[in-house]
Structure 1
Amino acid sequence: MSTESHADPVAPGSARDRLLDAAEALIYAGGIHATGVDAIVKQSGTARKSFYTHFGSKDALVAAALERRDERWMNWFIAGTERQGKRARKRLLGMFDVLREWFASADFHGCAFLNAAGETASADDPIRIVARDHKERLLAFVRTQCDAYAAESQMDARRAARLSRQWLILLDGAIAVALVSGEADAALDARATAEVLLDAECPGESRRSVSKSRGKHRHHGEPQPD
């Protein structure tokens, strides 16, 4: 099963890459404060001098590891979403199916960016800034899908912007519940809520979807509900 999970942290590569691999793997599994520089250096198979040469501080290493994860995670999520269908409604709802695959993986430990933000006190902390940038990037992608849905359903731009913010909360909420509960089906619960939200925003779109479904049934000679 393909997920956004990281490759083997001790895979061959430059000392910098190996330090990033080790930092990401250890911090994602155990947290920033619980992971020491010695553990990162040991898992990376590099010399401690390499750590100081490339990063200089643990916070700089963590921020760099998160920046790299952001790029990989977004590429994975965007590709997974785009495979869900041609219509924006299918792609929006399909985001939760993409998440469920991730939740069911053995190495799921929640959102690395929410986890990291929770361990930093200052809004100006470089690690918090990377986490905030990741959420802004995710929101921007969700907005493109909401804009496409607005075009399909004749929703105005203001409502599409509000929908995108609500969608981000549902995505992050599903991630948080899946982490705490250990239930991958948290994604399905969020998906059901998201569907209700879409139907409330554009009831006409929902009726059209039902009408198309009934039309297909008639085409195949299946009985229709009253």
Structure 2
Amino acid sequence: MNEINSSETRDIILDVAEKLIYKSGIAATGMDLLVKTAGVSRKSIYRYFANKDDLVVAALKRRDERWMQWFSGEVDKAPTPLARLLNLFPVLKGWFESEGFRGCAFINTSGETGDPRDPVRQVAKMHKQKLLDYVTGLCVEQGIERPEQLARQVLILIDGAITLALVMGDHDAADQAQDVLKTLLAIE
């Protein structure tokens, strides 16, 4: 196998692992499939990651960084604090309608682990905390009286909309979640 420089090889492995895990889950993403899809040797994978668990955690951390950067970047395009809060849901709806949407990678992979101390669950918890912190910041910008409380409610709306979009194929769940947010904000 022809392998490129080490940084590129590691990136390829992480990209492929992230895509395969998001598409089919952790259990269905075996090392043989990773080797074949990434076009690298098994030895190369183990050069960068001690085991499959370490690779999964690294791939999920990478997804967290990319997803949060994409999501906040899209939401932040709205011109005012209120518009940014409301923009959470049109951005989600666009994601729901995109090719390859398979729900929240962090909820999905958490469902494959039973132990709350499992590193995969810890990455999922970190992701949800980052999302909560981001939404809390939006609530603070809007001057919400109890920003942490509203942010927790909005996180429930976000995860609920994602789940309905995946399980029910209901992309309008984002619109409905936005309507609930408008009710919470007492706007029409």
Normalising by the smaller structure, the TM-score range is over 0.9
Number of equivalenced pairs:
183
Paired with 2:47 and 2:185, the residues of 1 have a C-alpha distance of: 51
**Pairing of 1:57-96 with structure 2 (within 5 A):** 57-86=51-80, 88-96=81-89
Q: Give the corresponding residue for 1:123.
A: 116
**Pairing of 1:21-60 with structure 2 (within 5 A):** 21-60=15-54
Paired with 1:173 and 1:65, the residues of 2 have a C-alpha distance of: 24
Decide which structure has the larger Cα Rg and report it.
1
Q: Give the corresponding residue for 2:176.
A: 189
Paired with 1:122 and 1:46, the residues of 2 have a C-alpha distance of: 31
Q: Give the corresponding residue for 1:3.
A: none
SS at match of 1:14: helix
Paired with 2:134 and 2:164, the residues of 1 have a C-alpha distance of: 22
Please list every run of 5 or more consecutive structure 2 residues that lacks an aligned counterpart in the other structure. Answer: none
Please list every run of 5 or more consecutive structure 1 residues that lacks an aligned counterpart in the other structure. Answer: 1-11, 200-205, 211-226
Partner AA of 1:129 in structure 2: Q
Q: C-alpha offsets along residues 5-51 of structure 1, whole Å, 9 cap, x if unaligned?
A: xxxxxxx9722111111111111011111111110111000001011
Percent identical across equivalent pairs? 49
Q: C-alpha offsets along residues 156-212 of structure 1, whole Å, 9 cap, x if unaligned?
A: 3xx22100110111011100110001121111111111111111xxxxxx4xxx7xx
Paired with 1:14 and 1:160, the residues of 2 have a C-alpha distance of: 42
Normalising by structure 2, we get a TM-score of 0.93
Runs of 4+ in 1 over 2 A off after TM superposition: none
Partner AA of 1:21 in structure 2: D
**Pairing of 1:141-180 with structure 2 (within 5 A):** 141-150=134-143, 155-156=144-145, 159-180=146-167
Q: Give the corresponding residue for 1:106.
A: 99
Paired with 1:47 and 1:27, the residues of 2 have a C-alpha distance of: 19
Paired with 2:11 and 2:131, the residues of 1 have a C-alpha distance of: 25
Paired with 1:190 and 1:175, the residues of 2 have a C-alpha distance of: 10
Q: Which range moves more in the overlay, 135-144 or 33-42?
A: 33-42
Paired with 2:92 and 2:16, the residues of 1 have a C-alpha distance of: 24
Paired with 1:192 and 1:41, the residues of 2 have a C-alpha distance of: 46
SS at match of 1:32: coil
**Which structure is richer in relative contact order (CA contacts within 8 A, separation 6 or more)?**
2
Partner AA of 2:125 in structure 1: R
SS at match of 2:117: coil
Q: Give the corresponding residue for 1:9.
A: none
